[in-house]
Every structure is written in C-alpha cells, then in structure tokens.
Chain A
C-alpha cells in the first residue's frame, strides 16, 4: 500500500500513539490493582496463618524456626516491627523476654564464669530459670542467638563469639575480645577440660612465643582464665567457663 503523505497522516499517527499510551496506562493500572489485591490477600492470609498458629509459634521451637526461615525468604523481619499485624504474634515479645532472661542468667553467673558462658550451658541455665511448663522449656540455641542479637544495641557489653564447630560463647562483660583472645578461647574450647598452655597455643596457632605470652597475660589480666602453676612443665591456663567439672557439680547439686 502506498503510504499517504500529508497532515492527516501525521495527525492519525499522533492519535494512535495517544491511544497506545492510554491503553498502556490502563493495563498498568489494572495490573497494579491486581497486585494490590494479591498483596492484600497475601497479607490477610499471612495474618490468618499467624493468628491461627500463634500458639504454635510461641510454643514450638521447630515451628518457630521454620516460620523464621519463611519470613527471611520473603524478606520480612517479624522482629523489626512491634506495630501492625506482627504484634499479634508476640514474636518480638518472645525474644525480648528471652533476652532479658539471658542477661539475668549471665550476670548472675558472672562471678563464677568470669563473664563467659558457653551457649549450651546458657541454654541449660535458661531452661532451669524459666519454669517447668513445656512452653518455657522449648527454647533452641537459635532462639537464644536471635535473642542475644537484640542485645547488640547495648554496645559491646554483650557479645556472642563463634568458636567454630557450632560452638558459641556468650560474653557478658564489657570490653572487646580481640582476635587473639578469641583464638585462645577457641583453642581452649577444643580441649577436653578447657585449658591451654603456651606451647600448645604456639603449636596450634603458629604464633610466636612473645605473641602467645602477651595474649595469655591479657586473658589472665581480664579475669577470663585462671593460671595453674602446679603442672609438671609450663603453667596452664584454665577457663572456668569451659571447664566441664563445673557443670557436673551443677547437675549433682
């Protein structure tokens, strides 16, 4: 077909373009509308779900973990908002309550542990402190980690250190643990009784004698460990927080 030329043609093209634009806007609008609707439905469903399983979430640690994972997958942090429909869950409350208990338990044991406590022990103590009902008993390590994360806002007075192999240690005294100290802790936690010697550290970590000595002096000076000079060779350094005999007594008592 021969293309027509002239004013009419240009006007027609303009008209067509406008119509396309209108249509585009229409489609966009309806899509948005649909999305909003879907979101609403999703929200309502999620709310229904949360309401329906509120008790499960609070009581069942496995369920709570899965719910946490689900929320993480869709990019929602149920702890971040105390407002809105998340509050019906009381998720935040659960963790805030737990973190207060964590602080309680840690501070109460500070004079014995020197301010360090293994996560396992913390969990045991928490369970003992939380009362007998099954709802209070079912707390996982993940719950405690989540709760302690909330405590980070208080600065460095309360920090969780990862020691590798799924071992964590909770530090409840102010002050930063340096890399050196963390390494020593980590080395000690891998021994049976929670003690290290200078030579052992030099072997394990490949440190120089001077570095090892300084680091050990520092942990000793911060009251995190005790020195034993009645060994056959060099003195050994013991962490009460990692000493298994302490818990044996605890159970027996």
Chain B
C-alpha cells in the first residue's frame, strides 16, 4: 500500500495545540477531521481509541508533538456532528469513525442491491462487505459493525429487514 501522505500541518508544531483564535481553530479542526478520516480510510480502520497514545495519528514523534485526549475528543465530536463518527461506549473513549456517513453507506448498498436485482433475497453482511461481487465498490471492506449500523438505518426506512442467524447478520432488501 502506498505510504500515507501527511498534510504539511502534521509537521507544524502548533497544529497539536488547540488554537485560541476562533477562525484559526476552525481551520485547525477542518484539517484534523480530514486527516482523521483519510488516515483511517487509508488503513481501512473504523475504530479509534482516544487513549491509544502510540498511534501516529495522535503523535508526530519527529517533532515531539502529540494530541491531548481532550483534543482528540473534540475532533471526534466534530466528526460526530457531520455524521462521520459515533461513540461506542458511554465514557466516549472508543469511537467508530467512517469515511462515508451511515446514510451514504446504506444508500450505496441499497443501490447495489437494486442494480443487481437482489431485492427480496437475503444477503449476509459478509457477502456485502467482503464478497467477491463487491470488490470494485466503495463499501467493500467496510467494517461489519459499521455496515450493521448503516443497515439499521435502512431498516428504519423500511428498505430492508435485518435477520440474526447464529450471532451473525443477514439482511433482506425490499
């Protein structure tokens, strides 16, 4: 896999300090949220632990700067506002973060089901996320937990029904 391209700000020491000036802070958040999403997408990761101090995403050792847990929390909350993240525990320490919003994932899956004529048949989550038929699609390799959440949204809209089988899930699309 190609090496991850860090933005220039990653080598800019004050980037790791929350900026007091309103406009500057907004710019800073914009770059950080972008970076979070790009980094996770690049590594195909969907979860983040705030206390994972070894992640290069949180610290740049070459300039000896790191993000404080509070700052990470703020960035994740920003991502939550745009629908790109959700906390997994009550203490908000573990987070699910996704490149596309759940709604987007749901729609993509639904469109694919429609195009391939699989309505009214049952697909397992594994088929959707890791099956051979979806390798070219944007949602391929998506975390199954994320996918499940996306399908729950679809279920609410009445576009599919989730079926639990031996601890794993399948979905029937309408």
Contacts and interface: CB of A to CB of B under 8 A. Distances in A.
A228 B14 contact: yes
Contacts, number: 56
B15 interface: yes
B17 interface: yes
B134 to A, nearest CB: 31
Interface stretch (B18-26, B119-127, B149-157): B18-26
A166 interface: no
Contact of A230 (B8, B17, B23, B28): B17
Interface string B8-43: 100111111101110110011000000000000000
Contact of A226 (B5, B7, B19): B19
Q: How large is the interface on B (under 10, 10 to 19, 20 to 34, 35 or more residues)?
A: 20 to 34
A26 B162 CA distance: 112
Contacts of A228: 13-14, 16-17, 65
Interface in B68-104: none
A228 B24 CA distance: 13
Contacts of A243: 8, 12
Interface residues of A, number: 26
B78 to A, nearest CB: 17
B12 A226 contact: yes
A220 B8 contact: no
A122 B156 CA distance: 53
Contacts of A237: 14
Contacts of B28: 226
Given A245-B8, A246-B8, A249-B8, A227 B14 contact: yes
A223 B21 contact: yes
Interface in A196-253: 220-223, 226-231, 235-238, 240, 243, 245-246, 248-250, 253
5 contacts: A223-B21, A226-B17, A229-B17, A230-B13, A253-B5
A226 B15 contact: yes
B12 A223 contact: no
Interface of A: 111-112, 114, 195, 220-223, 226-231, 235-238, 240, 243, 245-246, 248-250, 253
B17 A240 contact: no
Contacts of B19: 226-227
Nearest to A235: B17
B59 to A, nearest CB: 10
Contacts of A248: 8
A230 B5 CA distance: 24
Contacts of A195: 13
Contacts of A112: 27
A179 B15 CA distance: 27
Contact of B14 (A221, A222, A226): A226
Residue of B27, B64, B66 with most chain A CB atoms under a 10 A cut-off: B27
B66 A238 contact: no
A253 B8 CA distance: 10
B21 A230 contact: no
B11 A245 contact: yes
Contact of B24 (A226, A235, A249, A253): A226
